[in-house]
DNA sequence: GTGAAAGCGCTAACAG
DNA sequence: CTGTTAGCGCTTTCAC
């Protein structure tokens, strides 16, 4: 079954290739009746233009790539990425872009994939997920001329377009809330030291303490790796310092912390309040009747905005690097103890 | 910055375009010294061939699509898909294919995406995830000439290539194990009635009972939707019928069931044994010290095999529809009570 | 408003 | 073993 071509449509519609092309691309200069006639033929025959030919001639593939460097090790143990991917995919659909997925599991894959990603005629632009700082592939990509948006806070601002969650202010909101509720010894479980998201959330924690004139006790700070079990372990250690609250850099760690707290016979939130970060709907809470107070980051929205920004960058490359920040929301539920302190 | 072309490389290397093309595609008929000279130029200049031009000329895009119909609603609440996607991506990388992701959230998106997916010159083949039976998009795709592999059991075998997990035998292994341990009233929590995976796992349950000459009590069967909470609810109902074991069609439901059982003050596995299905590593068990006995499906492997099969289908379309089944493994841990019954 | 013609950058016979 | 010659199917000036 030989595929239909523009030529075929042109012939049966009794017009030239150019005209069919104009109709296909919704260009104005076509007489209404001709346009209809051509559309009719297109519909009847079920013709679809050849993507490669179109890309070659127009120098535009209408395809963008989502690049996940190998340093994003948690990709599939963390519900964050599926959500993000879904937001990105949806925005792609809305804007008629096809989404290419580039997942690297090893340094070798990074080496092999780099030429494919940077090859012209395949991608119009890329979304690059921030991994640990100093990732080799990311560095190379940053130095290429491919239009891109970095997902997260880049090390040196102003050199690349990026979109990030307002981690600092989000974390600060959470900790300030705990302070206002009268908590005095607020512990903090941060993420990996190379994660800018973790660094920024810790910064928010420090900012909140500073604003309240409260001292920083490094004995109340631990670094986990965003997972439940690391939250459990960090909290076990922290309990020796008798905190009356803990702010964790992820919900999973908050759940781990809750498990540690209750297993010591302490009550939440009366004796130790807990506030997390993420609000991923799919996590199963350890204590069904105790909803976690947390900082919600709108991941799906984040993904959609990322695509939108990339489109802007691709459409007007002369505008230079753009930055965008997505706001968070403090969701006050049970574990912060608001109902204990605020009987209003 | 004008992009380099084959022509440029040919000129500076002092050969013709064809020769450069041959070198690029690792074709044999090139003298060794010429080959090296050309490679040198390619390396120095950092030249990468244009993907669209290559696709147009060779009629091969080296890109495959992963299609997730809207009926796959659980896509991002279920750790199954991220794992699957990772396996697929890895196999694509190994075989030099680019992966396109097509996620549909609504019927409208399905309509809009169909032409893009079936458009020639974009995809060499597609992987179509099974959703609920009778999905509109899937029907259309099945009737197209696009090389494809269906992920799951198709309704009418023999009309399409597919790859599936051995759900029936896996479930049967699980239930037979419970029977051998002396359990008499084995309940079952199945999945959605439109899911072939759920249907097959239930079949395995029935087969095991039949083989043992045990009666089927429909009062011991409930349908959940694979989620934790549905497992909890189904188990609450089932407990009224006093089962001494339960086999669930997913780990998440098994965890829900465990929560229901313990909240009734019953002990696992002494009073009620539990066996799940999946063995997804990322789920957080409700009872940290009680590991779930379950049927492991090697999802990552499944994804890789799916790509392999698709490649076979694309390379030899004349061979007709191919079917492949991936075996499961019964992982005996704590919740089935093996240690109680088998003091060997 | 419409058609002719010239590519887009590559692959693949076909000669030599 | 290497170069010449046609395209692949579409977009896009440029005339008319």
Cβ within 8 Å, pair A50-B101: no
Whether the bond between B87 and the residue before it is cis, its omega within 30 degrees of 0, is no
Which of B24, B52, B144, B147 has the most A C-beta neighbours within 10 Å, making it the best mutation to test the interface with A? B52
DSSP states along B136-200: HHHHHHHTS-S-EEEES--SSTTSSEEEEE-HHHHHHHHHHHHHHTT--SEEEEE--TT-HHHHH
**Whose CB is within 7 A of strand D?**
A 3, 5-7, 17-18, 21-22, 24-25, 49-50, 53-54, 56-58; B 14-19, 22, 28-31, 34-35, 53, 56-57, 59, 121
- Chain A residues with CB under 8 Å of B116 CB are 96, 98
Distance of alpha carbon A117 from alpha carbon B218, whole angstroms: 55
The answer to which of A69-78, B15-24, B178-187, B272-281 has the lowest mean pLDDT is A69-78
pLDDT level of residue A285 (50, 70, 90 thresholds):
confident
Strand C–CB A22 distance below 7 A: yes
Per the prediction, chain A carries an average pLDDT of 91
pLDDT at position B79:
78
pLDDT at position B137:
80
Residues forming a β-bridge with A324: A163
pLDDT level of residue A80 (50, 70, 90 thresholds):
confident
Distance of alpha carbon B33 from alpha carbon B61, whole angstroms: 30
pLDDT at position B72:
63
Per the prediction, chain B carries an average pLDDT of 91
Residues forming a β-bridge with B244: none
Whether the bond between A269 and the residue before it is cis, its omega within 30 degrees of 0, is yes
How confident is the model over B120-147, as a mean pLDDT? 85
Residues B33-43 have pLDDT tens digits of 999 999 999 99
pLDDT at position B200:
97
* DSSP structure class, residue B218: G
pTM, two decimal places:
0.93
pLDDT at position B208:
98
Strand C–CB B30 distance below 7 A: no
Query: CA of B206 to nearest chain A CA: how many angstroms apart?
Result: 31
Task: Flag whether pLDDT at B263 surpasses 70.
Answer: yes
Distance of alpha carbon A309 from alpha carbon A301, whole angstroms: 12
Count how many pairs of residues, chain A against chain B, have C-beta atoms within 8 Å: 149
Query: CA of B54 to nearest chain A CA: how many angstroms apart?
Result: 9
Measure the CA angle with vertex B156, ends B150 and B158; round to 5°. 75
Beta-carbon count within 10 A of A237 CB: 13
Cβ within 8 Å, pair B56-A61: no
Distance of alpha carbon B271 from alpha carbon B291, whole angstroms: 16
- CB-based contact B164:B326 (threshold 8 Å): yes
Distance of alpha carbon A179 from alpha carbon A244, whole angstroms: 11
- Which bases of chain C come closer than 7 Å to a protein CB? 1-5, 7-13
Q: Give strand ranges (E) for chain A.
A: 63-68, 98-103, 125-129, 148-151, 161-165, 186-190, 221-223, 245-248, 273-278, 293-296, 323-326, 329-331
Residues A14-25 have pLDDT tens digits of 999 999 999 999
Of A77, A101, A113, the CB nearest to B282: A77
The answer to which of A290-304, B56-70, B109-123 has the lowest mean pLDDT is B109-123
Task: Flag whether pLDDT at B342 surpasses 60.
Answer: no
In the block, residue with structure tokens 């999973």? A252
Distance of alpha carbon A246 from alpha carbon A251, whole angstroms: 12
Distance of alpha carbon A165 from alpha carbon A153, whole angstroms: 8
pLDDT at position B134:
65
């Amino acid at each position: 079954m030989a595929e239909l071509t523009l030529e075929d449509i042109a012939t049966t519609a009794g017009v030239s290739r150019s005209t069919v092309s104009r109709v296909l691309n919704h260009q104005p200069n076509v007489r209404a009746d001709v346009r209809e006639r051509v559309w009719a033929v297109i519909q009847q025959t079920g013709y679809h233009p050849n993507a490669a030919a179109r890309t070659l001639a127009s120098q535009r593939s209408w395809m963008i790539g989502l690049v996940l460097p190998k340093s994003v090790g948690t990709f599939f143990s963390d519900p964050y990425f599926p959500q993000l991917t879904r937001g990105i995919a949806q925005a792609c659909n809305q804007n008629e872009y096809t989404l290419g997925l580039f997942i690297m599991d090893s340094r070798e894959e990074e080496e092999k994939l780099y030429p494919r990603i940077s090859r012209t005629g395949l991608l119009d632009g890329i979304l690059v997920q921030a991994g640990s700082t100093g990732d080799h592939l990311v560095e190379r990509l940053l130095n290429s001329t491919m239009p891109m948006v970095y997902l997260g806070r880049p090390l040196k601002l102003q050199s690349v377009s990026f979109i990030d969650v307002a981690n600092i202010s989000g974390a600060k909101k959470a900790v300030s809330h705990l302070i206002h509720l009268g908590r005095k010894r607020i512990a903090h479980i941060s993420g990996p030291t190379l994660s800018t998201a973790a660094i920024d959330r810790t910064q928010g924690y420090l900012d909140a303490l500073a604003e309240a004139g409260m001292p920083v006790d490094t004995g109340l700070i631990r670094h986990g790796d965003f997972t439940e079990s690391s939250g459990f372990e960090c909290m076990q250690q922290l309990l020796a310092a008798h905190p009356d609250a803990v702010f964790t850099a992820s919900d999973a760690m908050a759940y781990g912390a809750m498990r540690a707290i209750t297993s010591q016979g302490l009550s939440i939130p009366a004796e130790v309040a807990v506030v997390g970060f993420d609000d991923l709907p799919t996590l199963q809470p350890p204590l069904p009747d105790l909803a976690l107070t947390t900082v919600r980051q709108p991941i799906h929205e984040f993904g959609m905005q990322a695509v939108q920004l990339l489109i802007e960058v691709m459409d007007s490359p002369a505008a230079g690097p753009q930055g965008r920040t997505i706001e968070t929301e403090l969701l006050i539920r049970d574990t912060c103890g608001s109902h204990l302190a605020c009987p209003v």
